[in-house]
Amino acid sequence: MKMALKSTISFTFFSLLMLALANGSNAGKIAIYWGQNGNEGTLAEACATGNYEYVIIAFLPTFGNGQTPMINLAGHCDPYSNECTGLSSDIKSCQAKGIKVLLSIGGGAGSYSIASTQDASNVATYLWNNFLGGQSSSRPLGPAVLDGIDFDIEGGSNQHWGDLARYLKGFNKKVYITAAPQCPFPDAWIGNALTTGLFDYVWVQFYNNPPCQYNPGEISNFEDAWKQWISGIPANKIFLGLPASPTAAGTGFIPAADLTSTVLPAIKGSAKYGGVMLWSRYDDVQSGYSSSIKSHV
């Protein structure tokens, strides 16, 4: 009897442990964009909330085609007087908490394009030496080594982004390469690059795109778009990109109640489901959106 009881208890404990591990492995994560509003608080403060697993510094909007690369972090610091090197300690404090910190290149209002394969190599070398594991005397964010590069390509050209990703991975395969395409599939700018299999995470912008975003009471177009993304590109994980408040985008905000009751249950069963990406930290501070959804993601 004692043997049988012990076996039953052990089996039950093992089953519960396996269930917990399975649920943990499927748990989604939250990515946030930080850097485009000086009133959103510091990078260290964002990481201290415990709400985010990925923080994306936005943006490096000027690069490529012979241009001198230049970051723009709105009201946070002046890159022209090397003020942004002070972010290094914040980056390290985030990483000490296990948070991955990436630099987003591009954006909606930048001046960027990759003119050739050689240009892609040049830009990759610049990014490696100035933000990643390489060496440079003029690192814009100081000595901290970022975890990866995010491609938020919304203009310029649709050429050579795959080359850029390939060169970056060539420096170190552990460099995270992510992207933020629009939800119409395939993305007009980096659709080709996303087929390379070099992208670790893709946070699809399901906003400002009414035909494929979730609309209250109508989920089928959104579900169809989601299925295209999870089946159409060889990325490790696909994230649901959303505005963090009603004012963060023109369309596409999903109230937390709708997200947790309707939208997330429709996509969380996907093996490639990674979590939720939010634009942006400023809007999240105003709305408290990440706090209200974190336990459901």
CA distances for 42 relative to 55, 173, 262, 293, angstroms: 12, 30, 33, 22
Sign of CA dihedral 84, 241, 253, 48: negative
255-295 pLDDT tens trace:
999 999 999 999 999 999 999 999 999 999 999 999 999 99
The answer to whether 223 is a known catalytic residue is no
Total length of the chain? 297
CATH numbers and ranges of domains, the chain: 28-294 (3.20.20.80)
Task: For residues 63 and 226, give the distance between their C-alpha atoms in angstroms, rounded to a whole number.
Answer: 31
Which tokens hold the place of 109? 């209002």
184-209 pLDDT tens trace:
999 999 999 999 999 999 999 999 99
Q: What's the confidence (pLDDT) of residue 214?
A: 98
**In 109-154, which ranges are continuous DSSP H helix?**
117-131
* pLDDT beneath 50: ranges in the chain: 1-25
Neighbouring residues of 215: CB distance < 8 A, sequence distance ≥ 6: 221, 222
Q: What is the DSSP letter of 59?
A: E
CA distances for 245 relative to 76, 167, 249, angstroms: 21, 36, 8
- Give me the catalytic one of 45, 53, 154, 223: 154
Helix (H) or strand (E) holding 21: helix 2-26
Which tokens hold the place of 278? 């939010």
3-state helix, strand, coil in the chain (%, to 5): 40, 20, 40
Q: Is 160 helix (H, G, I), strand (E, B) or coil?
A: coil
Closest to 150 (Cα-Cα) out of 208, 88, 203, 91: 203
Helices (H) and strands (E) in the chain — how many of each?
A: 10, 10
3-state secondary structure 41-92: CCHHHHHHCCCCCEEEEEEECEECCCCCCECCCCCCCCHHHCHHHHHHHHHH
